[in-house]
Structure formats: structure tokens, C-alpha cells
Structure 1
Amino acid sequence: MWWTYALLSAVFAALTAILAKVGMKGVDSSLATAVRTVMVLGLAWGIVYAQGGLPGLAHLTRQNWLFLTLSGLATGLSWVCYFRALQLGPVSKVAPVDKLSVALAIGLSVLFLGEKLTWQTGLGAGLILAGTLVLIR
């Protein structure tokens, strides 16, 4: 089931780039990021409410709050940088560079989470890096 959600995530991420590029014509990239964030915030809380997940807030630990907050800050900075890059450059070059996050996440998961680096995962990360270099030239 995870594969279905991952594929849908990729489709929506691709749409994000195209829709954002069109939607932010003549708009400051930070303002565009703020508008997008409000939409994401509303959607996320709407889903939590609809699924009856609000009581789960009381069960979050200090560690949950710390790392979810740090993750949120990283997400926000990523979005601000991504929208600025989209404003300045073509989607066909910005999106591949943004997807280097996959190879970086693999490396960080090995370093900080102790995940095993298989030859397939290493090769895949290397191909992502190579593909990005080909696409941005």
C-alpha cells in the first residue's frame, strides 16, 4: 500500500511545480509560499479532524514535538527556496535539483538512522545524482 501513496505523492509533487509556476506569475515567491502553506495547513487539519485524530495531540511526547517542529521548519525553508527557484528558473531544471533530496535522504538515513545501504539503494542514489546532472546541463 505504501507504493500507491508514494506514487500519488510523486504525481502531486509534479503538479505542484507546474501549478506553482503558473500561479505565481507576478507574485513574490515568499507570498506564494505563504498562500500555499495556508492551503496545506487547512487540508492537513481537515484530514486529521475527519479521521478523528485530534485526541492524538495529547499523546505527543516532548521528542515528538521537537522533531516534528524541526521537520516543519525544514519543510518551510525547503518550500521558500523551492518557490524562489521556480520563480527564477525553469521547472525542467528546478524540479530535478529538488529531487536530489531523495539521494540526500538516503545518505542521511544511513548516517543518522543506521539504515543499511544496499548496492541497489546506492546505485539508485547515484543514478539520481547522475540524472540530475544530465538534466540541468
Structure 2
Amino acid sequence: MSLRDFGLLVLVCLVWACNNIVSKIVVAHWGVPPLFYATVRFALVAAATLPWLWPAPRPAWRIVVVGLLMGAGSFALLFMGFRTASPSAAAVVAQLSVPFTTALSMLMLGEKVRWRRGLGMVLTLAGAVIVMWSPHGLALSPGLWLIAGSALTGSLGAVMMKQIEGVKPLQFQAWVGAASVGPVAALSLLTEPRGLEAAVAAGWPFVAAVGFSALVVSVLAHTAYYGLIQRHEANLIAPLTLMTPLLTIGLGVLVTHDPFDIRMGIGAILALAGVLIIALRKNQVMPLLLLTRNRFQ
């Protein structure tokens, strides 16, 4: 990998990590309801990628379901989780998507898991459990439950995406936005009656935040990342993307003052080591997961 491409990948991971911090600030500090935030974000993504929406991949119902899982399911749950979960803890728990995807690929795609990938799954799960653990036992905050749910729905969407051929990243983003904006908007109207009021109160910083999340993160960074995937093998790119949770943890400590103790450190090391082991093993679903793991990007 050239120094230019490595620098671009670092920049992409930094953008994704900043998005996690920005999303936390929007829903937790500014009080913008998470479903309203997700609705505006999906609307901007859908508008920006509208030219790539058609022709619809076949079968059309599958791309709609994938769009709902990766958008309305994964992103909406992620934003809801940020209300109470710190970005640092969320960054570790979100790594559950990798063993989730591996397990689902076994069930749905017939992949074989040998002992090394099995070890990686165990380490990732152990690391996430350590982060979730409290002195009173496995008492997750509602936010971390939602982050885990986000990882699961995103993983199911990624595996279903494997069964659709020829979908480019911008077309994928277009369908995520188009499929998700309606259902999430309806839920927001039903459960968040003061969403627009909170967004107006936040003012121009909210506009900048949602624009950054939709256009810079999903459209520009994702497209740049896809170019890197095309130029380099997935098994080279996958370990380097672990910079995203590491940067998220660092920014969380610095910007949102996340607590970070020995327990969090051990959990993060185990989880990221498990992800690294899985990423280094060649398999059918890893390149796909790299392209679609935007639930935490």
C-alpha cells in the first residue's frame, strides 16, 4: 500500500470516528431525538445518491430489506444507543458485528469456521462482555443493548447483501436512505413529538452535524473507502480499519470525557484482537462486511 493510500485510509477512519463523537453530542448533549436525527440523515443521503437508485438490483425486495436492516435497523438503533452509551464503550460493543456476521454466514451462506476464526469470535465476545460488565453483574445500560442490536441488524443486512450481485456503494447508500427514511420518520412522529423543535433549538451546529454525517461520512468517506478496497486486498484493509474504534475511544476520552479504566482497556484489547484474527482469515463474507459495516461509520 502506498503512503498516499495509507494516509487516505487513516483519514477515512478518522472521519468515521469523528462521526461517532458528533452523533453522541447531537443526541445526548443537544437533546435532538435520535430517530429525528436519523430521519434527516437518511433524507440527505437519499437525496444526494438519488441518481444511483435505479435500476433496482434484483430481487428488489431483498435490497429493500437490506436497506431497512442497515439503515432503519442499524443506524437508528445506534443513534438511540448513543443517548446513554459512551462512544468508547459503544466502539467496543459494536465489534460484535464481526462474530455476528461470521455466525450468520455459517447459517445462511454455508461458510466453514475453523479454530482460528472460532477463537477470534470467542475473544471478541469476551471483550464485549467485559466492557458490558458492572460490579453487579452483566447489567447493560439500555444504550449498550441498543448498540448490540445495531450490530446484529447490520450483520444480518451484510449477509443478505452477499446474496445480491452488482450493487455499487453509492447505489447501496441510495437504497439505505430511500428504504429507511419513511419508516424512521413515521416512528419519529409517533414517539418524538418535539424533534423539529429540538433541532431548531440546536441551530446551525445541528445542520453542520447532520450534513457531515450524511454527506462527508456516508457519501464521500464510503466512496473513498470503496476505492481502497478495489485497489487492495480485503485482508490488508480489514486490520487497518481497527483504527476507527481506537480513534473513537481516544476521541471519546478527550472530547466527551468517557470513563476509561483497566476493565475497559482489557475488554477493548480482547475485542479488537478477536476482530483482527477473524479479519486475517480469508472467507466469503469479510470483503462484503468491509463494504457494508457502515452501522458504525
Query: TM-score when scaled to structure 1?
Result: 0.74
Match of 2:123 in 1: 127
Aligned equivalent of 1:77, options 60, 73, 76:
73
Root mean square deviation, CA, Å: 2.8
Using the alignment, how far apart are the partners of 2:66 and 2:99 within structure 1?
18
C-alpha displacement at 1:85, in angstroms?
0.7
Match of 1:57 in 2: 55
- Does the alignment pair 1:30 with 2:35? yes
Larger RCO (alpha carbons 8 Å, 6+ apart): 2
Give the percent of matched residue pairs that are identical in Structure 1 and Structure 2: 30
Amino acid at match of 1:107: A
Q: Which runs of 5+ in 1 are unaligned?
A: none
Q: Which runs of 5+ in 2 are unaligned?
A: 134-297
Match of 2:23 in 1: 20
Using the alignment, how far apart are the partners of 1:21 and 1:74 within structure 2?
21
Change over 3 Å in CA distance of 1:42–1:123 after alignment to 2: farther
Change over 3 Å in CA distance of 1:12–1:80 after alignment to 2: same
Task: Check the 8 A contact 1:96/1:136 in 2, yes or no.
Answer: no
Aligned length: 125
Change over 3 Å in CA distance of 1:70–1:83 after alignment to 2: same
Using the alignment, how far apart are the partners of 1:116 and 1:9 within structure 2?
31
C-alpha displacement at 1:96, in angstroms?
2.2
Change over 3 Å in CA distance of 1:87–1:7 after alignment to 2: same
Change over 3 Å in CA distance of 1:10–1:132 after alignment to 2: farther
How big is each residue's C-alpha offset from its partner over 1:78-102, in whole Å with a ceiling of 9 and x where there is no partner?
Answer: 1111111101221222232222121
Using the alignment, how far apart are the partners of 1:68 and 1:84 within structure 2?
24
Q: Which has the larger helix fraction?
A: 1
Using the alignment, how far apart are the partners of 1:18 and 1:8 within structure 2?
15
C-alpha displacement at 1:125, in angstroms?
1.4
Using the alignment, how far apart are the partners of 1:104 and 1:13 within structure 2?
21
C-alpha displacement at 1:103, in angstroms?
1.0
C-alpha displacement at 1:20, in angstroms?
0.6
Query: TM-score when scaled to structure 2?
Result: 0.37
SS at match of 1:87: coil
